[in-house]
Amino acid sequence: MPTDATDRLLLGPGPSNVHADVLAALARPTIGHLDPAFLSLLDGVQGALRRVFRSGDDALVLPLSATGSAGMEACLVNLLEPGDTAVVGVQGVFGERMCAIVERCGARAVRVEAEMGRILEPSRVRAEIERSRPRVVALVHAETSTGVAQPVEEIARAAREAGALMVLDCVTSLSGMDVRFDDWCIDAAYSGTQKCLACPPGLSPVAFGPRALERLRSRERPVQSWYLDLGLIGAYFGEQRVYHHTAPINMIYALDAALRRVLDEGLEARFARHREAHLHLVQGLEALGFEMQVAPRERLPMLNAVIPPVDDEAALRRRLLGEHGIEVGGGLGKLAGRIWRIGLMGENARREVVDRLLGALRSLL
Ligand SMILES: *Cc1c(COP(=O)(O)O)cnc(C)c1O
């Protein structure tokens, strides 16, 4: 049955489907970014993000007016200066992107690489931190290009012990699996709205802890990006509320509505829902002859890297989209043409959604 192009089930690596309440929030009348009514809504959004990151009151938490990659760039350009060293965990495309940004800061990226589809052994990263004594350690929690869940705590502890600042990419993990900014000793983290937060793309929630804020104050040179300078952005998103750039009002309405859904459900319940949907998907896919690319203990719940049981994976993906209105992702980088990336993010982490995908695949295979 051909479907309307505006009615898609989004089971790729993001964006994910957005709930009608969140879409309705987007359509509310635009008001001024200094209107007290808007500022009080913004206070609520910043408070809700703090709860989702599990960060303390001493962190600066705000939605950056740009996508997840801008969150990555903001964390790195604010903490690094030319000549600094950053140890970067590279398990896939997003670790590579971090290295590219580190180098554009004039800093040195020391790469610790994992085999595609495997975690980085924390002890290897620890050894590199002890050897290089970097300013920053940067890691991707949920590597969306490979479907691997990277253990964070031991690496973040090693970074803290070495006096380095820990930067964590939570674009895909936030609100789909456990993220603990304070307990894990993270200094700066960023996410994106279009993955497990189930909001349209366009905002990047970031959290800067007290050590990262102190580093900002003690920089020798100004941050090379005016737009992403958190010292300047903080004047609007902090106490003073002075103009830096025009906040994307309607996107923040949407994020407010999406965060309400997250907190009304409860983080633990939401994580459990993602895990259960994932297990149901794995069982169904294996019965259809798909193979999972990642070992069970290292799998992400919200992003499943799978090897389809056909020679022409792209043709099957096209039919899934054209005949059933279901989008799944192809492989990225070295995995292009070899794997599918099936996202079960936010609203889509449900047994009924998985059953719809499995039913469509059964009919196509
Ligand atoms: C999607 C993603 C990004 C980039 O986010 P954009 O919103 O596409 O800029 C960064 N890191 C990870 C792990 C991602 O999954």
pLDDT in tens, 101-141: 999 999 999 999 998 899 999 999 999 999 999 999 999 99
Residue 3 clears pLDDT 60, i.e. is over it: no
Check residue 116 and give its pLDDT. Answer: 84
Residue 40 buriedness (CB in 10 A; 0-12 / 13-18 / 19+): exposed
Residue 6: pLDDT band (50, 70, 90) is confident
Rounded Cα–Cα distance for residues 175 and 270 (Å): 7
Check residue 335 and give its pLDDT. Answer: 85
Check residue 230 and give its pLDDT. Answer: 97
Rounded Cα–Cα distance for residues 349 and 343 (Å): 8
Q: How far is the CA of 171 from the centre of ligand 1 (A)?
A: 6
Residue 213 clears pLDDT 50, i.e. is over it: yes
Q: Supply the mean pLDDT for the chain.
A: 96
**Ligand 1 atom at minimum distance from 142 CA:** 13
User: Which of 10, 88, 94, 204 should be mutated for ligand 1, with most atoms under 8 A from CB?
Assistant: 94
Rounded Cα–Cα distance for residues 205 and 161 (Å): 27
Q: Whose CA is nearest to atom 6 of ligand 1?
A: 68
Length of the chain: 365
Q: Which residues on adjacent β-strands are paired with residue 349?
A: none
Helix 267-287, helix 351-364: angle, nearest 10: 20
Residue 321 buriedness (CB in 10 A; 0-12 / 13-18 / 19+): middle
Q: How far is the CA of 151 from the centre of ligand 1 (A)?
A: 18
Q: How far is the CA of 69 from the centre of ligand 1 (A)?
A: 6
Rounded Cα–Cα distance for residues 47 and 255 (Å): 12
Residue 322 buriedness (CB in 10 A; 0-12 / 13-18 / 19+): exposed
| Contacts (Cβ under 8 Å, ≥6 apart) of 10 | 16, 17, 327, 343, 348
Check residue 200 and give its pLDDT. Answer: 98
Contact between residue 54 and residue 182 where contact means Cβ atoms under 8 Å apart: yes
Mean predicted confidence (pLDDT) in 238-254: 94
Contact between residue 204 and residue 226 where contact means Cβ atoms under 8 Å apart: no
Residue 147 clears pLDDT 50, i.e. is over it: yes
ω into residue 15 within 30 of 0, thus cis? Answer: yes
Check residue 1 and give its pLDDT. Answer: 47
User: Which of 88, 170, 171, 251 should be mutated for ligand 1, with most atoms under 8 A from CB?
Assistant: 171
Residue 298 clears pLDDT 70, i.e. is over it: yes
pLDDT per residue as tens digits for the range 307-344:
999 999 999 999 999 999 999 999 988 888 999 999 99
Instruction: Please give the single-letter amino acid code of residue 230.
Output: L
Residue 67: pLDDT band (50, 70, 90) is very high
Residue 142 clears pLDDT 60, i.e. is over it: yes
Rounded Cα–Cα distance for residues 346 and 353 (Å): 11
Going along the chain from its start, the domains and CATH numbers come out as 5-16+267-364 (3.90.1150.10), 20-263 (3.40.640.10)
Check residue 5 and give its pLDDT. Answer: 64
User: Which of 10, 69, 96 should be mutated for ligand 1, with most atoms under 8 A from CB?
Assistant: 69
How many whole angstroms from its chain centre is CA 344?
Answer: 14
pLDDT per residue as tens digits for the range 41-59:
999 999 999 999 999 999 9
Distance (Å) of CA 111 to CA 24, 31, 93: 44, 45, 13
Q: How far is the CA of 11 from the centre of ligand 1 (A)?
A: 15
**Ligand 1 atom at minimum distance from 94 CA:** 11
